[in-house]
Amino acid sequence: MTAASTPTPPGATEGTTPEAPEETATGGGVRTAGTAGTAGTDERLVHRSLLQRMLGRPELGAVVGAIAVFVVFSVVADSFLRASSLSTVLYASSTLGIMAVPVALLMIGGEFDLSTGVMVTSSSLVSSMFSYQMTANVWVGVGVSLLVTLGIGLFNGYMLVRTGLPSFIITLGTFLMLTGLNLGLTKLISGTVSTKTISDMEGFASAKALFASELTIGPADIQVTVVWWLVLVALATWLLLRTKAGNWIFAVGGGQHTARAVGVPVARTKIGLYLGVALGAWISGQHLLFNYDVVQSGEGVGNELIYIAAAVIGGCLLTGGYGSAVGAAVGAFIFGMTSKGIVYAQWEPDWFKFFLGAMLLVAVLLNAYIRKRAEANR
């Protein structure tokens, strides 16, 4: 999916774009010197106030929403502010955020991936069943799982650039194939719909320490997934705002034909984004396996929509070319606060999906309003 327009990037690095004397691809699209700001003045040289720069940030609406949700549950739930409760909220947020960040980058690049939820399960199933069936060190299974999961991402990206079909169609097909493979192969190999325990196998303890351990910080026990989440957010933000590849991502999302015209490697960029999603799925899958030891083959269906929703709440446009990794992280944090805050407030959990849907709509409307105000003030 691509967009006809090419929005301006939030805070992208200058001077790291493909060479183009008149039209320059930047972090959020394509700027033409002399067409913004005053006549004959590059818009990058136009002075903007701190307020104007803040209003131009894609994650602003999500930050406002996160503060509102935090205040609400702090008031209505007595236990919400306890260290153990906040640790649980961070854990729930991190398990979503590890996938929401690469999904956000893919959406900024103008594409979707509907296979992410089941890809996480596929990754964990491969690790577990390969290690068990081959009686190998679990790290061998983890390595094989990495190759298989990256292969799935490569398949999605290659099919997209070779066929020109919408990513919705291609990844929907991958979603259905993986759903069937997860169930069919698990029953064929294990005889049931779940994997066998591998907790007594060599290498399990060290793998669990990397993917599913807890860190004690003060009065709280923090899951290592929070560290993975924060590292991915930092890497993705650096990639988007400080590298040439980040400029390419914004450019292909803003308009791939224009991006290709100024020298952006569109095919490589899109395939790279799908590989990034696969890497996130592998990390999530290994956490799923080493945290619970046994994996159900039917897990993960529907999670792909939650990852996309977190990215949208964080400010990513469905049309591509606009968004941030920090915004996706904030969107995941809102999900985590809501899912656990409802429990701490002793509300009926059946209302969870209603609140998520309402937040999604409010976030989209708020982001659209902020973008219009920011563009009007330029």
pLDDT of residue 55: 67
Q: Which residue has the tokens 């003045």?
A: 41
pLDDT value for 5: 43
Rounded-to-integer distance, Cα 203 and Cα 159, Å: 36
Q: What is the pLDDT of residues 41-64, one digit of tens each?
A: 555 566 667 666 776 777 777 888
| Max CA pair span of the chain | 71
What does the pLDDT look like over 276-334, one tens digit per residue? 999 999 999 999 999 999 999 999 998 999 999 899 888 888 888 888 999 999 999 98
**Rounded to an integer, what is the distance from CA 43 to the centroid of its chain?**
30
Cα–Cα distance, 362 to 34 (Å, whole number): 36
Could you say which residues of the chain have pLDDT below 70?
1-48, 50-52, 55, 370-371, 373-378
Q: Model pTM?
A: 0.84
Closest by CA position to 12, among listed 235, 316, 247, 311: 247
The distance of Cα 154 from the centroid of its chain, to the nearest Å, equals 17
Given a contact cutoff of 8 angstroms between Cβ atoms, the answer to whether 290 and 359 are in contact is no
Cα R_g (the chain), whole angstroms: 21
**Cα(120)–Cα(99) distance, rounded to whole angstroms?**
9
CA–CA gap between residue 82 and residue 3 (Å, rounded):
44
Burial class (CB in 10 A: 0-12, 13-18, 19+), 372: exposed
E strand or H helix that includes residue 282: helix 266-292
pLDDT at 43: 56
Instruction: Tell me, letter by letter, the H, E, C secondary structure of 31-91.
Output: EECCCCCCCCCCHHHCCCCHHHHHHCCCCHHHHHHHHHHHHHHHHHCCCCCCHHHHHHHHH
What separation, in Å, do the N-terminal and C-terminal C-alpha atoms of the chain show?
A: 27
